Amino acid sequence: MRILLTGASGLIGQAVHRNLSQDNEVITLGRSAHADVRLDLADVDGLNSAALPAADALVHCAGIVDEDFREDPVRAARMAMFGAGALARQAVAAGATRLAYISSAHVYGPMLGHIDERSPQNPVSDYAISHYATEQVFRRYAQGAVTAAAFRPCAVFGALGDLDAFRRWTLIPFSFPREAVMDRRIVIRSTGQQRRNFVGTDDIADSVRRWLDASSSAWQVINPVGDTSCTVFEFAQRCAAISDELATGSCIVERQQPNGPQAGDDFEYASTLQPTTARQSIDDFARGLMSQLLLKAMP
């Protein structure tokens, strides 16, 4: 298969690139000088007049991230709706009949109770609404020979190529290992009792590959589910324990509101579509990342 890939240098995109390159020709699209085809999702007019190379599929891993909304929410929403819309249109014009988008579990709304692909969506933040908008501009093309899918991971972890190039340290799977190493103290602003499902980027990539190989229904939502679900507090404790193993001295976990309002302790993230065959362990990830950070911090 010939696959157009955006976000190939990003957290999830790197894993998708590695995975799909094994059996497919992958053509990367992006602003970077390393991209096979240079394009900018913020340049809607440019995209509308761009011609993409002939391909069988588009995998869009360059969706909006939280940070985009802190910087310029209007620009981020425009990319999500019109940039992604133009991208999907051009990919279909180039022959793509499979359109995959890496979205977010936030599209379901507040992380409460049992959520699987049959759950109604309820995006409330600008970030979540924008992810949903991208899903729907992809879904627009899901008819006739074209099938499309949205992948909605919850809390994503995975190998970082270059620690210095990474910009998303505020995400919990990254912030806690980093705080454990750097500060020997992990600070949780809430009760920490809200649960999350942690899914590795390689497992997300597997999920995308399985869908590319077997796509059948016109439109599909897929929850890539990792094998670890735990509370934010429990994950902090795991990081602290690993940190204690790796280094001398111990790491403290501090909850700023241990008795504060509790919501999300009943959250259960599930998939009815793809069996969980997760191969990545969050503990291995945390241990690996902390080792990297310790090495880096060495004089």
Q: Contact positions toward a copy of itself, by CB under 8 A?
A: 44, 73-74, 77-78, 81-82, 85, 120-126, 129, 132-133, 136-137, 139-140
Q: Token pair for residue 113? A: 């109770």
Q: Determine the residue type at 160.
A: L
Question: To the nearest whole angstrom, how small is the minimum distance from the Cβ of residue 76 to a copy of itself?
Answer: 11
How far apart CA 196 and CA 157 sit, in angstroms, is: 12
Q: Which is nearer to a copy of itself, 163 or 218 (CB)?
A: 218
Question: To the nearest whole angstrom, how small is the minimum distance from the Cβ of residue 120 to a copy of itself?
Answer: 6
**Minimal CA–CA distance to 107: which of 99, 98, 116?**
116
Q: Name the region of 172 (left: φ>0; alpha: ψ -120 to 50; beta: rest).
A: alpha
Q: Token pair for residue 144? A: 């006739």
Question: To the nearest whole angstrom, how small is the minimum distance from the Cβ of residue 141 to a copy of itself?
Answer: 10
Question: To the nearest whole angstrom, how small is the minimum distance from the Cβ of residue 81 to a copy of itself?
Answer: 6
Q: Which is nearer to a copy of itself, 20 or 137 (CB)?
A: 137
Q: Which is nearer to a copy of itself, 247 or 263 (CB)?
A: 263
Strands 228-231 and 195-200: antiparallel
- Ranges of beta strands (E only) in the chain are 2-6, 25-30, 37-38, 57-60, 98-102, 114-115, 147-151, 155-157, 185-188, 195-200, 219-222, 228-231, 252-255, 268-269
Question: To the nearest whole angstrom, how small is the minimum distance from the Cβ of residue 288 to a copy of itself?
Answer: 38
Q: Which is nearer to a copy of itself, 1 or 218 (CB)?
A: 218
219 backbone dihedrals φ, ψ, rounded to 5°: -135, 135
Q: Which is nearer to a copy of itself, 17 or 139 (CB)?
A: 139
Q: Which is nearer to a copy of itself, 45 or 164 (CB)?
A: 45
Question: To the nearest whole angstrom, how small is the minimum distance from the Cβ of residue 55 to a copy of itself?
Answer: 23
